[in-house]
Amino acid sequence: AARPLIAPSILAADFARLGEEVQAVANAGADWIHLDVMDGHFVPNISFGPQVVKALRPHTQLPFDVHLMIEPADPYLEAFAKAGADNILIHIEAGPHAHRSLQHIRALGAKPGIVLCPATPPEAISEILDLVDVILVMSVNPGFGGQKFLHSQLPKISRLRDMITQTGRDIRLAVDGGIDATTAPLATKAGADVLIAGSAIYAKPDYKAAIAALRPENTP
Ligand code: DX5
Ligand code: ZN
Protein backbone atom coordinates (compact mmCIF):
# COMPACT_ATOMS: atom_id res chain seq x y z
CA ALA A 1 0.00 0.00 0.00
CA ALA A 2 1.10 3.56 -0.65
CA ARG A 3 2.18 5.85 2.16
CA PRO A 4 -0.94 6.70 4.20
CA LEU A 5 -1.94 10.28 4.87
CA ILE A 6 -1.81 11.30 8.53
CA ALA A 7 -4.61 13.55 9.76
CA PRO A 8 -4.22 14.78 13.34
CA SER A 9 -7.54 15.41 15.11
CA ILE A 10 -7.42 18.73 16.95
CA LEU A 11 -9.98 17.37 19.42
CA ALA A 12 -7.00 16.29 21.52
CA ALA A 13 -5.13 19.61 21.09
CA ASP A 14 -4.89 22.49 23.57
CA PHE A 15 -8.09 24.43 22.77
CA ALA A 16 -6.63 27.61 24.25
CA ARG A 17 -3.89 27.56 21.57
CA LEU A 18 -5.61 25.94 18.58
CA GLY A 19 -3.91 28.06 15.91
CA GLU A 20 -0.44 27.15 17.16
CA GLU A 21 -1.47 23.53 17.60
CA VAL A 22 -2.54 23.31 13.94
CA GLN A 23 0.73 24.89 12.79
CA ALA A 24 2.71 22.57 15.03
CA VAL A 25 1.36 19.37 13.44
CA ALA A 26 1.69 20.90 9.97
CA ASN A 27 5.38 21.48 10.69
CA ALA A 28 5.63 17.96 12.12
CA GLY A 29 4.57 16.27 8.87
CA ALA A 30 0.76 16.10 8.98
CA ASP A 31 -1.04 15.75 5.62
CA TRP A 32 -4.56 16.87 6.58
CA ILE A 33 -6.06 18.54 9.65
CA HIS A 34 -9.08 16.63 11.03
CA LEU A 35 -11.75 18.77 12.71
CA ASP A 36 -14.39 17.02 14.83
CA VAL A 37 -17.69 18.89 15.00
CA MET A 38 -20.07 17.57 17.70
CA ASP A 39 -23.55 18.80 18.53
CA GLY A 40 -24.48 17.13 21.84
CA HIS A 41 -27.37 15.45 20.00
CA PHE A 42 -26.03 13.06 17.36
CA VAL A 43 -23.15 12.37 19.76
CA PRO A 44 -23.04 12.91 23.53
CA ASN A 45 -20.43 15.69 23.42
CA ILE A 46 -20.10 19.27 22.13
CA SER A 47 -16.96 20.56 20.44
CA PHE A 48 -17.00 23.55 18.05
CA GLY A 49 -18.66 24.91 14.93
CA PRO A 50 -17.85 26.76 11.70
CA GLN A 51 -16.47 29.85 13.49
CA VAL A 52 -13.54 27.84 14.81
CA VAL A 53 -12.90 26.28 11.39
CA LYS A 54 -12.86 29.78 9.90
CA ALA A 55 -10.55 31.12 12.60
CA LEU A 56 -8.07 28.28 11.99
CA ARG A 57 -8.11 28.58 8.20
CA PRO A 58 -5.31 31.20 7.95
CA HIS A 59 -3.01 29.11 10.16
CA THR A 60 -2.16 26.41 7.60
CA GLN A 61 -2.52 25.51 3.94
CA LEU A 62 -3.16 21.84 4.71
CA PRO A 63 -6.56 20.48 3.69
CA PHE A 64 -9.25 20.69 6.39
CA ASP A 65 -11.09 17.39 6.84
CA VAL A 66 -14.28 18.37 8.65
CA HIS A 67 -16.06 15.48 10.37
CA LEU A 68 -19.65 16.48 11.10
CA MET A 69 -21.16 14.55 14.01
CA ILE A 70 -24.31 16.64 13.85
CA GLU A 71 -27.95 15.93 13.06
CA PRO A 72 -29.29 17.48 10.93
CA ALA A 73 -26.19 18.45 8.95
CA ASP A 74 -27.89 20.10 5.95
CA PRO A 75 -28.54 23.53 7.53
CA TYR A 76 -24.79 23.91 8.29
CA LEU A 77 -23.09 22.60 5.15
CA GLU A 78 -22.78 26.01 3.53
CA ALA A 79 -21.32 27.57 6.68
CA PHE A 80 -18.60 24.91 6.85
CA ALA A 81 -17.80 25.25 3.15
CA LYS A 82 -17.53 29.03 3.53
CA ALA A 83 -15.37 28.59 6.64
CA GLY A 84 -12.78 26.82 4.50
CA ALA A 85 -13.52 23.11 4.83
CA ASP A 86 -11.91 21.11 2.01
CA ASN A 87 -13.58 17.80 2.84
CA ILE A 88 -17.01 17.79 4.47
CA LEU A 89 -17.97 14.42 5.94
CA ILE A 90 -21.46 13.52 7.08
CA HIS A 91 -22.63 10.38 8.89
CA ILE A 92 -24.79 7.90 6.99
CA GLU A 93 -26.68 7.43 10.29
CA ALA A 94 -27.50 11.15 10.61
CA GLY A 95 -30.48 11.20 8.27
CA PRO A 96 -32.27 9.53 5.36
CA HIS A 97 -31.07 11.93 2.67
CA ALA A 98 -27.31 11.47 2.50
CA HIS A 99 -27.60 11.31 -1.30
CA ARG A 100 -28.92 14.86 -1.43
CA SER A 101 -26.52 16.15 1.22
CA LEU A 102 -23.47 14.77 -0.63
CA GLN A 103 -24.58 16.46 -3.85
CA HIS A 104 -25.04 19.67 -1.92
CA ILE A 105 -21.50 19.45 -0.52
CA ARG A 106 -20.12 18.96 -4.05
CA ALA A 107 -22.13 21.94 -5.32
CA LEU A 108 -20.63 24.06 -2.53
CA GLY A 109 -17.18 23.30 -3.93
CA ALA A 110 -16.03 20.92 -1.17
CA LYS A 111 -15.18 17.23 -1.35
CA PRO A 112 -18.02 15.05 -0.03
CA GLY A 113 -17.30 12.29 2.46
CA ILE A 114 -19.41 9.68 4.23
CA VAL A 115 -18.81 8.24 7.71
CA LEU A 116 -19.88 4.87 9.11
CA CYS A 117 -20.35 4.17 12.83
CA PRO A 118 -19.14 0.80 14.15
CA ALA A 119 -22.64 -0.72 13.98
CA THR A 120 -23.19 0.23 10.34
CA PRO A 121 -22.38 -2.32 7.59
CA PRO A 122 -20.40 -1.30 4.47
CA GLU A 123 -23.44 -2.04 2.30
CA ALA A 124 -25.21 0.96 3.86
CA ILE A 125 -23.26 3.20 1.47
CA SER A 126 -23.18 0.97 -1.63
CA GLU A 127 -25.60 3.19 -3.57
CA ILE A 128 -23.77 6.47 -2.96
CA LEU A 129 -20.16 5.53 -3.76
CA ASP A 130 -20.29 7.58 -6.94
CA LEU A 131 -20.92 10.72 -4.87
CA VAL A 132 -18.07 10.53 -2.35
CA ASP A 133 -14.36 11.37 -2.40
CA VAL A 134 -13.75 10.11 1.14
CA ILE A 135 -15.10 7.17 3.15
CA LEU A 136 -14.41 7.24 6.89
CA VAL A 137 -14.71 4.13 9.07
CA MET A 138 -15.18 4.89 12.76
CA SER A 139 -13.08 2.47 14.79
CA VAL A 140 -14.64 3.78 18.01
CA ASN A 141 -18.13 5.05 18.78
CA PRO A 142 -18.04 8.75 17.89
CA GLY A 143 -18.10 11.43 20.57
CA PHE A 144 -14.81 11.24 22.41
CA GLY A 145 -11.09 10.95 21.85
CA GLY A 146 -8.89 8.49 23.66
CA GLN A 147 -11.06 5.37 23.22
CA LYS A 148 -9.86 1.85 22.42
CA PHE A 149 -9.61 0.76 18.77
CA LEU A 150 -12.36 -1.69 17.79
CA HIS A 151 -10.67 -4.55 15.95
CA SER A 152 -14.11 -5.67 14.73
CA GLN A 153 -13.92 -2.84 12.17
CA LEU A 154 -10.93 -4.26 10.27
CA PRO A 155 -12.93 -6.61 7.98
CA LYS A 156 -15.21 -3.66 7.18
CA ILE A 157 -12.20 -1.61 6.06
CA SER A 158 -11.12 -4.46 3.74
CA ARG A 159 -14.62 -4.81 2.34
CA LEU A 160 -14.83 -1.08 1.67
CA ARG A 161 -11.41 -1.16 0.00
CA ASP A 162 -12.77 -3.82 -2.39
CA MET A 163 -15.89 -1.76 -3.03
CA ILE A 164 -13.73 1.28 -3.83
CA THR A 165 -11.58 -0.74 -6.24
CA GLN A 166 -14.75 -1.89 -8.01
CA THR A 167 -15.79 1.72 -8.66
CA GLY A 168 -12.50 2.55 -10.37
CA ARG A 169 -12.82 5.96 -8.73
CA ASP A 170 -10.23 7.73 -6.60
CA ILE A 171 -11.81 7.52 -3.14
CA ARG A 172 -9.82 7.93 0.08
CA LEU A 173 -10.48 5.40 2.85
CA ALA A 174 -9.94 6.88 6.31
CA VAL A 175 -9.99 5.31 9.78
CA ASP A 176 -10.80 7.32 12.89
CA GLY A 177 -10.56 6.33 16.55
CA GLY A 178 -7.95 4.60 18.67
CA ILE A 179 -5.24 4.89 16.00
CA ASP A 180 -1.76 4.58 17.49
CA ALA A 181 1.56 2.99 16.53
CA THR A 182 0.11 -0.48 17.23
CA THR A 183 -3.24 -0.15 15.43
CA ALA A 184 -2.07 2.04 12.50
CA PRO A 185 -0.39 -0.86 10.63
CA LEU A 186 -3.51 -3.02 11.11
CA ALA A 187 -5.68 -0.32 9.55
CA THR A 188 -3.34 0.27 6.61
CA LYS A 189 -2.96 -3.48 6.02
CA ALA A 190 -6.75 -3.74 5.87
CA GLY A 191 -6.79 -1.05 3.17
CA ALA A 192 -6.99 2.35 4.84
CA ASP A 193 -5.00 5.18 3.25
CA VAL A 194 -5.80 7.97 5.71
CA LEU A 195 -5.08 7.61 9.44
CA ILE A 196 -6.81 10.02 11.80
CA ALA A 197 -5.28 10.31 15.25
CA GLY A 198 -5.97 12.60 18.18
CA SER A 199 -4.38 11.45 21.41
CA ALA A 200 -1.61 9.43 19.71
CA ILE A 201 -0.28 12.76 18.40
CA TYR A 202 -1.47 15.62 20.63
CA ALA A 203 -0.93 13.78 23.92
CA LYS A 204 2.71 13.20 22.97
CA PRO A 205 5.48 15.74 23.68
CA ASP A 206 7.08 15.35 20.22
CA TYR A 207 4.52 15.66 17.41
CA LYS A 208 7.04 14.87 14.70
CA ALA A 209 8.05 11.59 16.34
CA ALA A 210 4.40 10.77 17.06
CA ILE A 211 3.38 11.27 13.41
CA ALA A 212 6.39 9.33 12.13
CA ALA A 213 5.48 6.44 14.45
CA LEU A 214 2.13 6.07 12.65
CA ARG A 215 3.69 5.54 9.24
CA PRO A 216 3.91 1.84 8.39
CA GLU A 217 7.63 1.84 7.58
CA ASN A 218 8.24 2.90 11.20
CA THR A 219 5.92 0.42 12.90
CA PRO A 220 6.60 -3.18 13.88
C1 DX5 B 1 -14.21 10.73 17.77
C2 DX5 B 1 -13.53 11.59 16.74
C3 DX5 B 1 -12.11 11.26 16.51
C4 DX5 B 1 -11.25 11.42 17.73
C5 DX5 B 1 -10.08 10.49 17.63
O6 DX5 B 1 -15.58 10.99 17.75
O7 DX5 B 1 -14.20 11.46 15.49
O8 DX5 B 1 -11.59 12.02 15.43
O9 DX5 B 1 -10.78 12.73 17.91
O10 DX5 B 1 -9.38 10.52 18.81
P11 DX5 B 1 -8.35 9.37 19.20
O12 DX5 B 1 -7.32 9.30 18.12
O13 DX5 B 1 -7.79 9.84 20.52
O14 DX5 B 1 -9.14 8.08 19.33
ZN1 ZN C 1 -13.27 12.43 13.71
**pLDDT 10s digits, 22-69:** 999 999 999 999 999 999 999 999 999 999 999 999 999 999 999 999
Neighbours of ion ligand 2 (CB under 5 A): 36, 67, 176
Q: Is 143 annotated as a binding residue?
A: yes
Categorize the per-residue pLDDT at 1 as very low, low, confident or very high, splitting at 50, 70 and 90.
low
Q: What percent of the chain has pLDDT over 90?
A: 96
For residue 142, give the ligand 1 atom closest to its CA.
Answer: 6
Catalytic residues: 36, 176
The question of ipTM being above 0.95 is answered as yes
Query: What pLDDT was estimated at residue 58?
Result: 98
Categorize the per-residue pLDDT at 220 as very low, low, confident or very high, splitting at 50, 70 and 90.
low
Q: Chain-wide mean pLDDT for the chain? A: 97
Which regions of the chain does DSSP assign to beta strands (E)?
A: 5-8, 33-38, 64-69, 87-91, 111-116, 134-138, 172-176, 194-197
C-alpha of residue 137 to centroid of ligand 1, in Å: 11
Q: What is the CATH number of domain 5-218?
A: 3.20.20.70
Kindly give, in sequence order, each residue whose CB lies less than 8 Å from that of residue 119, ignoring residues fewer than 6 positions away.
none
For residue 198, give the ligand 1 atom closest to its CA.
Answer: 12
Pocket of ligand 1 (CB under 6 A): 9, 11-12, 34, 36, 67, 140, 142-143, 145-147, 176-179, 196-200
Mean pLDDT calculated for residue range 5-12: 98
Categorize the per-residue pLDDT at 125 as very low, low, confident or very high, splitting at 50, 70 and 90.
very high
Q: What percent of the chain has pLDDT over 70?
A: 98
